[in-house]
A and B are shown apart, each in its own frame.
Chain A
Amino acid sequence: MLRVLLSYRYFILSSIKNEFKARFARSKLGGLWLVIHPLAMVLVYALILSELIQVKFPGAAIDNAYPIYLTAGVLAWFIFSETVLRSLNLFIDNANLLKKIAFPKAVLPIILLGNVLLQSLLLLGAILLVFAFLGHFPGIQILWLPLLFLVTLLLGFSIGLILGILNVFMRDIGQIVPIIMNFMFWLTPIVYTLAIIPETYRHWFAFNPMAHLAGAFQDVLLYNRAVDLSIMGVLLAVALGLLSVGAFLFKQAKAEMLDQL
């Protein structure tokens, strides 16, 4: 398996490059759009909500804590939602390829993850630039980021893979998931802090994996706090568990999926 993937490395790399180019094929700003979208979102929230919600940041000793908090959460959400939504249409989008050419199917998720990673890194770069403008320089804890990226990508992909397989047969899923994702965004402390939630509801957030991940991104980028490894361990285990469910489904459904596409 690994050797097959290795022999397709040129295809994987050129696909990542091509897909990236294809998304912005006829636009002037090209890849910049990728960064502009989430940052514009941050700007909107920062302008409107920072006045409406008086969020307190006791742990951060800087002025512009809210936009930084917001941006850290948006980065986590971007990685997760991008992976989920792309995996959701992984097979449908590649139907043309799957139907016409025989190739190891495992290259598709790798290309997808490579693409999301590339975009996330670009976004991270832009975010660090914005931070610098705001006078904020993340500390040494930023070294946790690779782990956080990995867990978020893996979690997003394992959920997306299961949904993506089902989506081939039940296209309603492709319509429902974006709506659910929208709800999940607001159920995750990204634009607000957990502190403004009434005590009685707060424990429910423990069941939202993205609440933990967004929290970890905020810890690392804003508070310069270390990541809680036990929680990351649990999340990683959940992601791997879901991934094996996805892999099992793929194995069972592969033949019918090719018939159906």
Chain B
Amino acid sequence: MSVLSVRQVSKSYRKYPNELVRVASWFGWRSAETQTLEVLKPISFDVQAGESVAIVGQNGAGKSTLLKMIVGTLNPSSGSVHVHGKVAAILELGMGFNLDFTGRQNAMHGLALMGYNQEQIEAVLPDLQAFAEIGSYFDQPLRVYSSGMQMRVAFAVATAFRPDILIVDEALSVGDAYFQHKSFERIKSFQQMGTSLLLVSHDKTAIQTVCNRALLLANGQIIQEGRPDDIMDYYNAMIAEKENSQLTQQKLTNGLTQTYSGSGEAKIMSVQLLNAKQQRLDVVSVNQDVQLLVRVKVTTPISQLVLGYALKDRLGRVVFGTNTWHTQQLIRNLQADEEIEYAIHFKASLGEGSYSVVLALTDSENHLNANYAWLERALIFEVINTDKPVFEGILWQENNIQIHREKS
């Protein structure tokens, strides 16, 4: 069942030559001089019960506008939003709080504004106070609060009752690490109880751990929709995308998607994972010595070349990554048709699971200035535990447990 359906919702702002023309327009008069600025083209999508959807995109892509229309603080210019159930939203900082009132008064006021009655509010207030954890400040005026404390109260108010849809707009990045964990925990527990989540964030890890679908918004349109890690790869590649560069995605046989982008001055010709005997590997045992062999070909003369590589786990989190800028192995003055071979030796000190290799060819420490090539999921390998005692996690570390047992 879909708890939220967005149908052909668009937003445009009208620019009137003067305010009298605006007033006249309310009575049906249309002026030729009125300009229309479309910030969101008609967008449709559904959110199913219990589903968590991330909306990603660069600043100005229309993410917040879209959320505001779903929440109802902005009216769409066309289309409709249907919500089945209760919505709670944390948009920007604060919730229209009054600085002269105490946290308690503001919390009660905020809950009342969400449509709860006195008994419900009084019943939930002790929990809310306990969750916010701001001690005696709860009964002091908001103007003496730090922004983090205001955020705590705002989050506690917005999530005091479990909504059917929770909308969070970049709010999670505020507050200290402790409260971030705590709020994340609450969001996850809501998720398990069936709350749908709509999240706008630039935090890749947050998106990949919480969401099961992502929408990529650019220039007021949904340009990609799919698994969060695919979308995030595409988004990262898009940020690096320069003129003349190409961006392609292809489905791999194992159901994953490979993203290739870049301006093409240098290309990745082949990637191989080899063992000590130079044999190709798909399955690696924990702590095995392996070699990543990357062949690169230069197509147009470039002054500097850096190879970056990273290992990502199943959820798309980077386990390890570095580049030849950081290792001070920058190559200069490359000619066309030059070929370079990089042999990267490392120990696969990884936990069991599937890992992917990301490769990037750039001119310096990051891909913002030049992005010759960017290859997500260049290679995928499985790590299995063949000779180590059973362990959890994505990291293998040598360990030595000593036990002293004393007779009493």
- On whether the beta carbons of B115 and A18 are closer than 8 Å, the reply is no
CB distance from B392 to the nearest CB of A (A): 42
Beta-carbon contacts of B85-125 to A below 8 Å, as 1s and 0s?
A: 00101011011101011000100111011111110010000
Please state if A15 and B109 are interface contacts (CB–CB under 8 Å): yes
Residues of A within 8 A of B101 (CB): 18, 22, 25
The 8 Å CB contact of A22, one of B89, B100, B112, B117, is: B100
Of all chain B residues, the one with the shortest Cβ separation from A104 is: B115
Interface membership of B82, Cβ < 8 A? no
Interface centre among A7, A11, A249, A254 (most CB of B within 10 A): A11
A10:B118 contact, CB within 8 angstroms: yes
Q: Is the CB of A25 within 8 A of B75?
A: no
**With A100-B94, A169-B19, A169-B22 in contact, do A254 and B118 touch (Cβ < 8 Å)?**
no
A14 proximal to B (CB < 8 A): yes
Assess the B113–A103 pair: CB atoms within 8 A. Answer: yes
Flag the segment in A91-99, A142-150, A208-216, A221-229 that touches B. A91-99
How many whole Å from B282's CB to the nearest CB in chain A? 52
Q: Which of chain A's residues have a CB closer than 8 A to the CB of B22?
A: 169, 256
Mark each residue of chain A from 1 to 29: 1 if its CB lies under 8 Å from any CB of chain B, else 0: 00000011011001100100010011000
**Is B72 interfacial (CB 8 A cutoff)?**
yes
B42 CB, nearest partner CB in chain A, Å = 16
Knowing A18-B105, A96-B96, A169-B19 are in contact, say whether A102-B71 is a contact too (CB < 8 A).
yes
Residue numbers in B under 8 Å from A140 (CB-CB) = none
The verdict on A48 contacting chain B, using a C-beta distance below 8 Å, is no
Known: A166-B23, A169-B22, A255-B77. A100 touches B95 (CB 8 A): yes
Tell me the chain A residues, 81-107 only, with Cβ under 8 Å from chain B.
Answer: 96-103
CA distance A99 to B92 in the complex (A): 10
Distance between B117 CB and nearest chain A CB, rounded to angstroms? 5
Contact A102 B72 (CB under 8 A): yes
CA distance A84 to B100 in the complex (A): 25
What's the least CB distance linking B297 to chain A, in Å? 52
Least CB distance, B141 to chain A, in whole angstroms = 8
In angstroms, how far is the closest chain A Cβ from the Cβ of B164?
Answer: 15
Closest to B12 in A: A259
Chain A interface size range? 20 to 34
CB distance from B16 to the nearest CB of A (A): 9
CA distance A201 to B77 in the complex (A): 51
**Count the B residues whose beta carbon is within 8 Å of the partner chain — how many?**
35
Once the chains bind, are B71 and A14 in contact (CB under 8 Å)? no
**Complex alpha-carbon distance, A12 and B14, angstroms:** 34
- A253 interface residue, CB < 8 Å from B? yes
Contact (Cβ within 8 A) B98 A22:
yes
Q: Are A259 and B92 in contact (CB under 8 A)?
A: no
Q: How far is the CB of A21 from chain B (nearest CB, A)?
A: 8
Q: How far is the CB of A24 from chain B (nearest CB, A)?
A: 10
B18-30 interface bits toward A, Cβ cutoff 8 Å, 1 = contact, 0 = none: 0100110011000
Q: What is the count of residue pairs linking A and B with beta-carbon distances less than 8 angstroms?
A: 77
Q: How far is it, in angstroms, between the C-alpha of A15 and the C-alpha of B19 when the chains are bound?
A: 33
Residue A54 at the chain B interface, CB threshold 8 Å: no
| A residues in contact with B74, CB < 8 Å | 255, 258-259
Shortest distance between the CB of A22 and any CB in chain B (Å): 6
Are A25 and B100 closer than 8 Å at their CB atoms?
yes
Q: Is the CB of A100 within 8 A of B26?
A: no
Contact indicator B100/A26 (Cβ below 8 Å): yes
Q: Does B279 contact A (CB under 8 A)?
A: no
In the complex, residue of chain B having the shortest beta-carbon distance to the beta carbon of A254: B75
B105: chain A residues at CB < 8 Å are 18
Q: Is B73 an interface residue (CB 8 A)?
A: yes
Closest CB in chain B relative to A169 CB, distance in Å: 5
* Contact partners of A249 in chain B: CB under 8 A: 26
CB-based nearest B residue for A18 = B109
Residues of A contacting B27 with CB < 8 Å?
252
A11 vs B106: C-alpha distance in the bound complex, in angstroms?
Answer: 12
Mask: chain A, 223-261; 1 = CB below 8 Å from B; 0 = not: 000000000000000000000000001001111101100
**Which A residues lie within 8 Å of B137 (CB)?**
none
Provide the bound-state CA to CA distance between A18 and B14, in Å.
37
Alpha-carbon distance A261/B284, docked complex (angstroms): 59
A103 to B110, CA, bound (A): 11
User: Is there contact, CB below 8 Å, between A101 and B117?
Assistant: no
B112 x A101 contact (CB < 8 A): no
Is A170 positioned at the interface, with any CB of B under 8 Å from its CB?
yes
**Which residues of B (317-359) have their CB < 8 Å from a CB of A?**
none
Contact A10 B73 (CB under 8 A): no
How distant is the Cα of A34 from the Cα of B23 in the complex, in angstroms?
A: 36
CA of A166 to CA of B100, assembled, Å: 29
Choose from B96, B110, B115 the contact partner of A7 (Cβ within 8 Å). Answer: B115
Q: Does B184 lie at the interface of the complex (its beta carbon under 8 Å from any beta carbon of A)?
A: no
* Pairwise interchain contact B14-A256, C-beta atoms closer than 8 A: yes
Q: Is A8 a contact of B115 with CB atoms below 8 Å?
A: yes
B391 part of interface (Cβ distance < 8 Å): no
A258: which of B73, B96, B98, B116 is its contact (CB, 8 Å)?
Answer: B73
Known contacts A14-B112, A103-B115; A255/B26 CB under 8 A: no
Cα-based distance from A188 to B114 in the complex (angstroms): 43
CA distance A97 to B117 in the complex (A): 19
In angstroms, Cα B115 to Cα A14, docked, is: 12
Distance between Cα atoms of A18 and B107 in the complex (Å): 12
Contact of B113 among A101, A253, A255 (CB under 8 A): A101
Offer 27 A-B interface pairs, CB within 8 angstroms, sorted by A. Answer: A7-B115, A7-B117, A8-B112, A8-B115, A10-B121, A11-B112, A11-B115, A14-B108, A18-B101, A18-B105, A22-B100, A26-B100, A96-B94, A97-B96, A98-B73, A100-B73, A100-B91, A100-B92, A101-B73, A101-B113, A102-B89, A166-B23, A169-B19, A249-B26, A253-B26, A258-B73, A259-B13
Partner-A contacts on B (CB < 8 A): 13-14, 19, 22-23, 26-27, 71-75, 77, 87, 89, 91-92, 94-96, 98, 100-101, 105, 108-110, 112-118, 121
Closest 4 CB pairs of A and B: A102-B72, A252-B26, A11-B112, A255-B75
List 7 extra interface pairs beyond A15-B112, A255-B75, CB under 8 A: A18-B101, A22-B100, A101-B89, A102-B73, A103-B114, A170-B19, A249-B26
